[in-house]
Structure 1
Amino acid sequence: MKIIKRPRQEDWAEICQRPHLDITQLMSTVNTVLCDIKTRGDKAVYEYEERFDHVVLNSLSVTESEIDEAETLVSKELKDAIALAHENIYQFHAAQKFEGQKIKTRPGVECWQKSVPIEKVGLYIPGGTAPLFSTVLMLATPAKIAGCKEIVLCTPPNREGKVNPAILVAARTAGVSKIFKAGGVQAIGAMAYGTESVPKVFKIFGPGNQYVMAAKQQVSLGDVAIDMPAGPSEVCVLADETANAVFVAADLLSQAEHGVDSQVLFVTTSEKMLNKVIDETNRQLNLLPRREMAKKSLDNSRFVLVESAGEMMALSNAYAPEHLIIQTANYQEMAEKVVNAGSVFLGQYACESAGDYASGTNHTLPTHGYATAYSGVNLDSYCRKVTFQHLTEEGIREIGPAVELMAAAEQLDAHKNAMTVRIQEIASK
């Protein structure tokens, strides 16, 4: 970890830098795989599954009997935890339903919007170092609430051709329509273009490694929508002298264990707290099974001492973290000043893990500073707003002359004429 004390504001840009990757070769490799999937469909997916996931498959589809078997392999305690998380996620996202209003902008001019679900959505669920069955709940639950007709899920199988049973249980719980054994770039390509087995979808959701992210970005250029640009996971923790150093260190490490390219940023106004958190982070790190991965992540990370709470909040907004944890005595006041963040956790007991699993909020969030412009996944992510308007003769009289003038000023004569013929027809009555 890099320790920075009382940095000047001109140094903030460097503090806010994420780990850099040379993606030139990466993008070329991804493009080659995507083109192959687009051309050869299932056959190419099978070959890439053998090459990258080291499994020879007879079928890409997960059968109902495989899901039934998975139910027997997951403990009752874990199934109960999945059910609890699903209930909370459902409640939180169901409350986001859009209620449109009809607005009369002028007499005889009425406008409104209707929320329409995206018919076919694709969910990508990583299954490598950490099979993210929680992400199934986060992505499929709002899709089901929105009313998406087809919810397609792709996830890599193990070398025996089996999908992690908790992923299958979560998929059944959340209402996934179809599940396929495909990982990485080949999964994204299959959902973007469609193959003999995998349906083409209209929007792809879900996290993944740098290859998955690159694939999502490439297919979004012309073939399918994606949830958001995203990269390695990250957290920013703000703490004053009242914070619990054990909790802070645990929160930092919970993010660091995601992967070697994850990043944590710790900002405090207390030098005593800074030293406590450094010591506690090192102590807890040695107890983690994934300590080597977390240690490499900490190499990308920064622990920063600043002069004031205002400076602490300003640095966080400049960083625009995926996750923001505020452990200060005045966390409610600090929360009002949050401008850029994916998801915010307030007080000593709101650990990021709560949001990752079971509080009800969504954990699919913008990373790499994209929180300046993007929201995390929510119910609206699965919907489109279709706009309607209705005009009467009175409405034409109200806005018709303005439309004619504006169209003429833009030299769009056919636009002007479309209004003029209506005005003339009404006047002739």
Structure 2
Amino acid sequence: MSSKKVYVVGVGMTKFEKPGRREDWDYPQMAKESGTKALQDAGIAYDEVEQAYVGYVYGESTAGHRAVYGLGLTGIPVFNVNSNCSTGSSALFLAAQAIRGGLADCTLALGFEKMQPGSLGSTFNDRTQPMDRHIDLLAQISEVRFPPAPWMFGAAGREHMQEHGSEPVHFAKIGEKNHRHSVNNPYAQFQDEYTLDDILAAKEIYSPLTKLQCSPTSDGSGAAILASEDFVDRHGLAGQAVEIVGQALTTDFETSFSTRKAKDVIGYDMNVQAARQVYEQSGLGPEDFQVIELHDCFSANELLLYEALGLCDEGDAPRLIDDGQTTYGGKWVVNPSGGLISKGHPLGATGLAQCAEMTWQLRGTADKRQVDGVEAALQHNIGLGGSAVVTAYQRAER
């Protein structure tokens, strides 16, 4: 089945903030800010958008509709998207799919989150929890600790230490790198640089993870305008357009539970399969990308993703880290934005913020974060329970 090309022609985001830091900043204001920036970046009016896909995790049923009312009341279909931490990139996937399938020429993907301070918690406790199978299995193979998120990813980190010899310092080096990168990102919740000793000495959350290796709760929003080739040509947008050359969304496989591995409970196989699909679609391999934004909700996940995305063989992530291959001057620059650990993690907005960073990097407009010679960029976003979304980008003129 043939499909149409998809381009990112406009992106926008708010600064990510500590929950409640900005007074009178509710999700409609966040969405209007990011959406307006994306429309202005694309140079189009909202009435040219044919469909909107709006993602959030915490909120009432049609909050996505309310979020885009600040951009215009044009009667277009608005779809509310919720897929845990992969919500933003799931909205991006759906908005791209509408263009890829010829159902629209211009779509909006927007994500936002207004969060409570502290660890993530459940809202509806009178019914089955979506991750009950994941948590039950992990409790059989790992020491139980709450809150659940750092326990789940920390357990996968401990498993890697036991099986492959990684050490706490390797996870800490990831935290040090991402905080250092965030210094140059005005959109980041944190812009503080820490030494490796600072990272290691921070409060332990769940060994080997310390507080400075864990993403914070955040308020914020991100948006992207997607368009078909015809739309790009009609509006003269080729000079700023970025093509999505590969994109895949996977959900849990049987192996998520059958291997009885902590890494598969947190989505390792989902990540592997999504990446493979994208490499096949795009004709690109890991070596062809210069810059990567990936889902470092915890440093343990970033380490495992080096292997899942094929940056190195299984078990070789520590060597990649020690050799400095994932920062400026290395083979890839991973999370130049500061990643979730330092940029922040407003769940519904994260995937769209990653898209914005990749678009700026490919345009060469990422200011002090700019990676040299960017020809292709890779994005990864995951939500437990569960979905993994991987997207590959190249400049349109290619």
Q: Same fold (TM over 0.5)?
A: no
Q: TM-score, normalised by structure 2?
A: 0.28
- Bigger Cα Rg: 1
**Higher relative contact order structure (alpha carbons within 8 Å, sequence separation ≥ 6):** 2
Q: TM-score, normalised by structure 1?
A: 0.27
